[in-house]
Amino acid sequence: MADARPMPESRLAVGGLVPFTTIDFPGRLAAVVFCQGCPWRCTYCHNPHLLPPHDGDRSWADVIAWLATRRGLLDGVVFSGGEPLLQRGLAAALTEVRALGFATGLHTAGIYPERFAAVLPLLDWVGFDVKAPFGDYARVVGCDGGGPARNALRLLLASGVAHQVRCTVPPEMDAETLARLRTELRDMGVAALEIQACRPLDSLARVG
């Protein structure tokens, strides 16, 4: 696994901001906060600049001050990445966003189930990215992450939080593997799997 040092307790490292989206948080006019850092190295990652776990390129204080000016214009904020659960400051940031009156969303691959459990009560919606059948994760993400991801998905399904389970299908995933993934998810109680197109032009070279 690549560098998985957690971010400092009280800070959110922001690697980017999209001020307005209608597609990243279903049913909401939202801003997207891109969190810096991810311990995985998916073969098709479309945000490689967000992978190193550094401080990010803008302060959370600036972002929350800007969000305060968006009340009445936006109705949601979705945290994406990178992997937002890498950052210890995520729960505090979600609490601040809710205090401003925004709905909260999270894009995650479920890398840290315990941290996910801690923030689920602070979320209105989760976009949960599955990578492969859980026994095949190493081939896609570069490490054995299937166990934590399965545990995190179980937590999500038990929570009652609105969600979408989706998979970006890389070119190397064949029909049998995708069928196996669908079966695993159905057996867990996932009602639907959203298939997303891979964007190979932006993809990462395999690391390690």
Residues that bind ligand SF4 (CB under 6 A): 38, 40-42, 45, 47, 51, 81-83, 109, 141
CB of 170 to ligand SF4, least distance (A): 10
- For the purposes of burial, counting CB atoms within 10 Å of the CB of 200, is it exposed (0-12), middle (13-18) or buried (19 or more)? exposed
- Burial class of residue 182 in the structure, from the number of CB atoms within 10 Å of its CB (0-12 exposed, 13-18 middle, 19+ buried): middle
Nearest to ligand SF4 of 94, 149 (CB atom): 149
> How many separate helices (H) and strands (E) can be counted in the chain?
6, 7
Question: Please, what is the minimum distance in Å from the beta carbon of residue 70 to ligand SF4?
Answer: 25
Closest separation in Å from C-beta 41 to ligand SF4: 5
Closest approach of Cβ 71 to ligand SF4, in Å? 29
Distance CA 201, CA 196 (A): 15
Q: Which is nearer to ligand SF4, 31 or 35 (CB)?
A: 35
Nearer to ligand SF4, 76 or 81 (CB): 81
Q: Encoding tokens for residue 48?
A: 């490689």
Whichever of 45 and 161 has its CB closer to ligand SF4, that residue is 45
C-beta of 100 vs 195, nearer to ligand SF4: 195
Determine which helix (DSSP H) or strand (DSSP E) holds 194, and give its type and residue range.
strand 193-196
**Cα(93)–Cα(13) distance, rounded to whole angstroms?**
11
What's the rounded Cα separation, in Å, for the pair 38 and 86? 7
Q: How far is the CB of 69 from ligand SF4 (least distance, A)?
A: 29
